[in-house]
Amino acid sequence: MDDTRMSPVVITGERHNEIAEEPCEHMLTPEEIDRLPILPAGAELAEQAVYIDVMNLAAGPFRALPGQTCGSGHGIVAEIDTDPATWDRLCRCAGHAALAAQAERNIVEAELADPVS
């Protein structure tokens, strides 16, 4: 993996280790991440096909809209281009990332509501 494309699957795992009690057990290895069929920036997404952005797993899988393309800084992976076991692990990590992100938002909201004097 080149240094310009940090893996969100790994980054998210480190991030929710800070927030969640236990890391996602479905985390991909660096070798598996390198093999993900990440679409290049500007690639057109097939309308209604299912994708996941591995740079933002907490957003979860999504269906492409008409004319939607991959933006730069994203790691878009198509479900159809991914083996079922890997896709399942990505989705499970996405769920774990979403829970961790919600926990972080709850902490921030609680700190804002009751600032320390």
- Note whether residue 117 is domain-resident: no
The sign of the dihedral angle between the CA atoms of 9, 11, 15, 17 is positive
In a domain, 2, yes or no: no
115 or 34, higher pLDDT: 34
| Mean pLDDT taken over the chain | 78
Region of 60 (left: φ > 0; alpha: ψ -120 to 50; beta: rest) is: left
When comparing pLDDT for 12 and 35, which is higher?
35
Higher pLDDT, 5 or 113: 113
| Any domain includes 56 | yes
Judged against a pLDDT cut of 80, whether residue 24 lies above it is answered with: no
Mean pLDDT of 16-35: 64
In a domain, 3, yes or no: no
CA 10 to chain centre: 9
Number of domains in the chain: 1
* 94 occurs within a structural domain: yes
Q: Is residue 1 part of a domain?
A: no
- pLDDT of 87-104, one tens digit each? 999 998 888 888 887 877
pLDDT of residue 4: 36
